[in-house]
């Protein structure tokens, strides 16, 4: 029976990806206006259903609370939407006339999205909006503990997308997300990219699928309170961040790192604002409940209230307690509460000063949150900058809740429910993920530095440089169309005139030396050999074979560049092209010219 279920889930994953691939072909042809209508419709549908979706999420997963789930989902449907609605993601999205660069957006393709149970509806809305904004179809694999609420979120948005003109299958969700089905989704030949949010094992599977993946790492966020901090505000920010949706966001505060000089004051303020400090024995009991022997968080306790955690640990706490605070004596495997907890439980770690605080925060981050997020509470900007330069976190939020500042709710960071941790955290990016991470950028580049080597210019010529015409609306910057002839060219012309004047043929009714040297089809040294002067931006210098075999042929200067059109012109006129070891020949020119023996190698 299990075997049949696995096979059915794999087949369903294949069907949804193939349907998404068909939708992708249509989405790729959408205009910016069509794309924006679809995205707006999905956001509006999510906003209309935000309360029902939040209640369903809490009911199904038991994580967090309805009020904060509403706010999180509304954040995706409102704040994220407002941040992306005016982005250009279709056709020409940026032009740089000065540098001659035009950028063109191309969809990434079908996106496979892994959705967690901690933030199910908010993440589903977020990933749907950024994928569709980039004209990408998306197939979601929900966490098995959140299938109903994620499927319902996808349903209401998909229906809205279809009414706005989107193709069937542009947004879908695996109905039975077995591990086999999720792997098939990630590895399918039509899947172009993976957006992975979930446990470490699932993110590793995404990276090992063979497809480009945007995974996000775990958080183990320290909140440092410096002596210069406004203590009541700092404590309020930390408790607000930690208790938001019962600590289910990965950037929620995990540790209070406090300067020793203000530790007592911070402790008293924390108790006044609803924090309950645990004894050593109580902290051990809480650690046993929250953290499993393999140092993973106990899934049963994720997103539970402080009251529920205390009850499970056999501890009695005052009514209205917002968070449990555990004094910590060390960091690492001997101290389970120094890890990420995903519940309203904080550690309390006094330090001598900001130098020692910096080292403590580094250790916390390296113990499970490298590259993620750090909160700094201080008014001394020198200390803030010094910490920012040294800490291994890519979001350092100042005097604000880490949870809300990191996602762009209380800061001007890009609003996002997926936070990259960079290469230290095993991620490809350190950014807050946006639609632009799901768009390929094609670049049209016009020439701004033409090939022009004076040392390779034939005597009497003006070079063989080629110049691309400037694009319409893209003026050429810094291009000299006809550079002045270098000194050695002028000297060569003078020598030619002198030799022509001494030639016996100059008295036999032929052109005067001055005429011969100045004519574009005159004689070289009065020998009657017709020479074509090279033209700037056109075919290279070619020389017609001498008609009088009694005379020695002139020495021919090699050209410095040959393209296919040059070869075609030489073939048409029965001419040769003289080249040297340094001559640049395009592959198509070489393929066309070599079989016809067009090229003549010279010694210089």
End-to-end CA distance of the chain: 80
In this structure, what DSSP letter does residue 475 have?
A: -
Instruction: Give the list of residues 6+ apart from residue 459 with CB closer than 8 angstroms, or none.
Output: 489, 492, 493, 496, 557
For 221, phi then psi, to 5°, come to: -80, 120
CA 137 to mean position of chain CA atoms: 18
CA angle 318, 322, 327 (to 5 degrees): 85
Please state, in angstroms and rounded to a whole number, the distance separating the CA atoms of residues 365 and 54. 31
How many Å apart are CA 434 and CA 129, to the nearest integer? 10
Helix, strand, coil percent values for the chain (each to nearest 5) = 45, 15, 40
**Locus of tokens 């309170």:** 225
Q: From 245, 250, 59, select the one nearest 145 (Cα to Cα).
A: 59
What are 42-45's contacts with CB under 8 Å, separation 24+? 42/125, 42/128, 42/129, 42/132, 42/157, 42/160, 42/161, 42/164, 42/171, 43/77, 43/78, 43/81, 43/125, 43/129, 44/77, 44/160, 45/156, 45/157, 45/159, 45/160
Least Cα distance to 128 among 166, 97, 102, 100 occurs for 166
Give yes or no for a contact between 439 and 109, defined as CB atoms under 8 angstroms apart. no
| Spatial contact of 172 and 140, defined as CB atoms under 8 Å apart | yes
Q: What is the DSSP letter of 458?
A: P
- Residue 569, both tokens: 């012109």
Catalytic residue among 250, 361, 421, 563: 250
Closest by CA to 141, choosing from 174, 95, 103, 92, is 174
Q: Which residue has the tokens 């300067």?
A: 259
| 476 Cβ contact partners less than 8 Å away, ≥ 6 residues apart | 100, 446, 448, 467, 470
Identify whether 361 is a catalytic site residue.
Answer: no
The answer to whether the CB of 60 falls within 8 A of the CB of 146 is yes
Ranges assigned E (strand) in 84-182: 91-96, 101-107, 110-115, 138-142, 171-173
Is the CB of residue 50 less than 8 Å from the CB of residue 74?
Answer: yes
Place of tokens 């349907």: 19
Q: What is the rounded CA–CA span in Å between residue 590 and residue 604?
A: 20
Angle at 386 between CA 382 and CA 391, to 5 degrees: 150
Catalytic annotation, residues: 250
């Amino acid at each position: 029976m299990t075997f049949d279920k696995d096979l059915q889930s794999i087949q369903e994953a294949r069907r949804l990806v193939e349907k998404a691939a068909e939708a992708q072909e249509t989405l790729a042809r959408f205009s910016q206006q069509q794309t924006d209508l679809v995205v707006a419709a999905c956001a509006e549908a999510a906003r209309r259903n935000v309360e029902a979706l939040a209640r369903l999420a809490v009911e199904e997963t038991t994580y967090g609370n309805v009020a904060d789930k509403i706010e999180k989902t509304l954040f995706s449907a409102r704040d994220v939407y407002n941040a992306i609605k005016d982005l250009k993601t279709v056709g020409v999205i940026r032009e740089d006339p000065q540098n001659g660069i035009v950028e063109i957006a191309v969809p990434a393709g079908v996106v496979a999205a892994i959705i967690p149970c901690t933030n199910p509806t908010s993440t589903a809305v977020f990933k749907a909006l950024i994928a569709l904004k980039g004209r990408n179809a998306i197939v979601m694999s929900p966490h098995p503990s959140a299938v109903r609420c994620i499927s319902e979120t996808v349903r209401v948005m998909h229906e809205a997308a279809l009414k706005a003109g989107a193709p069937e299958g542009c947004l879908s969700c695996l109905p039975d997300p077995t591990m086999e089905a999720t792997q098939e989704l990630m590895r399918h030949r039509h899947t172009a990219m993976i957006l992975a949010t979930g446990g470490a094992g699932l993110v590793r599977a995404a990276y090992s699928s063979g497809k480009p993946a945007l995974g996000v790492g775990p958080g183990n966020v320290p909140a440092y309170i410096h002596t210069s901090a406004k203590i009541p505000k700092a404590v309020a920010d930390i408790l607000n961040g930690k208790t938001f949706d019962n600590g289910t966001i990965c950037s929620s505060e995990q540790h209070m790192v406090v300067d020793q000089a203000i530790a007592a004051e911070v402790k008293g303020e924390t108790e006044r604002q609803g924090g309950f400090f645990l004894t050593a024995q109580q902290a051990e009991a809480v650690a046993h409940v929250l953290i499993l022997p393999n140092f993973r968080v106990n899934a049963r306790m994720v997103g539970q209230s402080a009251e529920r955690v205390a009850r499970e640990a056999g501890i009695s706490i005052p009514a209205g307690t917002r968070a449990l605070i555990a004094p910590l004596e060390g960091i690492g495997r001997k101290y389970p509460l120094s890890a990420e907890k995903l519940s309203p439980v904080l550690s309390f770690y006094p330090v001598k000063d900001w130098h020692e605080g910096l080292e403590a925060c580094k250790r916390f981050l390296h113990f499970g949150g490298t590259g993620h997020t750090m909160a700094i509470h201080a008014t001394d900007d020198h200390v803030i900058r010094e910490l920012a330069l040294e800490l291994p976190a890519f979001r350092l939020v100042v005097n604000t809740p880490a949870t809300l500042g990191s996602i762009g709710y209380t800061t001007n960071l890009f609003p996002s429910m997926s936070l990259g941790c960079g290469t230290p955290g095993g991620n490809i990016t350190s950014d807050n993920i946006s639609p632009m991470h799901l768009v390929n950028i094609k670049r049209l580049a016009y020439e701004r530095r033409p090939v022009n080597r004076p040392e390779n210019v034939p005597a009497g010529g003006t070079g063989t440089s080629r110049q691309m015409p400037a694009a319409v609306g893209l003026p050429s910057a810094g291009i000299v169309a006809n550079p002045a002839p270098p000194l050695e060219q002028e000297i060569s012309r003078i020598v030619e005139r002198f030799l022509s004047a001494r030639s016996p043929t100059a008295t036999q009714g032929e052109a005067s030396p001055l005429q011969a040297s100045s004519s574009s089809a005159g004689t070289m040294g009065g020998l009657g050999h017709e020479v074509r002067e090279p033209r700037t931006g056109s075919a290279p210098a070619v020389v017609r074979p001498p008609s009088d075999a009694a005379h020695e042929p002139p020495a021919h200067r090699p050209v410095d560049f040959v393209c296919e059109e040059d070869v075609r012109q030489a073939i048409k006129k029965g001419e040769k092209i003289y080249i040297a070891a340094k001559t640049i020949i395009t592959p198509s020119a070489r393929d066309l010219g070599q079989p016809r023996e067009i090229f003549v190698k010279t010694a210089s």
